[in-house]
């Protein structure tokens, strides 16, 4: 299994400092919808404190939590890949403080500093791989539980 990494601590200090030059501190009250699946992905966050639930709508009224994120976790990666739309929804599970990054500004910075761009993409890919493994494990547990219950 891949190891969980925290984006800001994974970047070398000079790259982290350049990225943090674009950070803006924000907060979300508990139960705030941060974004919806299908919406325009034009920013991302690194959570400083609190908890965020990533969810997927399965019916017009039901959402299923696919991941829970906390301090140091990256919230949002769809800004990095076309069509730049959120794949999931996100909601503040508790009061949240975060660093917010404008995607266009970060992408310009990555073009100016290809080393930073490569490092950022590599670390986001590692985070995605880890979350994919966690989701796969949850699905296997759920499927196995349902299958055992049916027998």
Phi and psi at 128, nearest 5°, equal -65, -40
Q: What share of the chain is helix, strand, coil (3-state, %, to 5)?
A: 40, 30, 30
Per residue in 2-59, pLDDT tens?
Answer: 556 799 999 999 999 999 999 999 999 999 999 999 999 999 999 999 999 998 887 7
Q: Is 60 exposed, middle or buried (0-12, 13-18, 19+ CB in 10 A)?
A: exposed
Q: Domain 7-150 is of which CATH architecture? A: Sandwich (2.60)
Per residue in 80-98, pLDDT tens?
Answer: 999 999 999 999 999 999 9
Per residue in 90-131, pLDDT tens?
Answer: 999 999 999 999 999 999 999 999 999 999 999 999 998 888
Q: For residues 88 and 34, give the distance between their C-alpha atoms in angstroms, rounded to a whole number.
A: 11
């Amino acid at each position: 299994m891949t190891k969980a990494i925290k984006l800001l601590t994974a970047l070398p200090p000079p790259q982290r400092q350049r990225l943090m030059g674009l950070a803006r501190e924000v907060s979300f009250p508990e139960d705030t919808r941060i974004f919806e699946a299908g919406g325009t992905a034009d920013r991302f966050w690194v959570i400083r404190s609190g908890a965020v639930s990533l969810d997927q709508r399965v019916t017009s009224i039901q959402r299923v939590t696919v991941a829970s994120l906390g301090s140091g976790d990256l919230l949002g990666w769809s800004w990095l890949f076309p069509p730049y739309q959120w794949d999931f929804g996100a909601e503040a599970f508790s009061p949240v403080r975060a660093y917010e990054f404008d995607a266009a500004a970060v992408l310009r910075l990555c073009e100016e500093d290809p080393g930073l761009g490569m490092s950022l993409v590599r670390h986001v890919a590692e985070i995605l791989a880890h979350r994919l493994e966690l989701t796969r494990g949850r699905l296997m547990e759920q499927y196995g539980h349902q299958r055992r219950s049916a027998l």
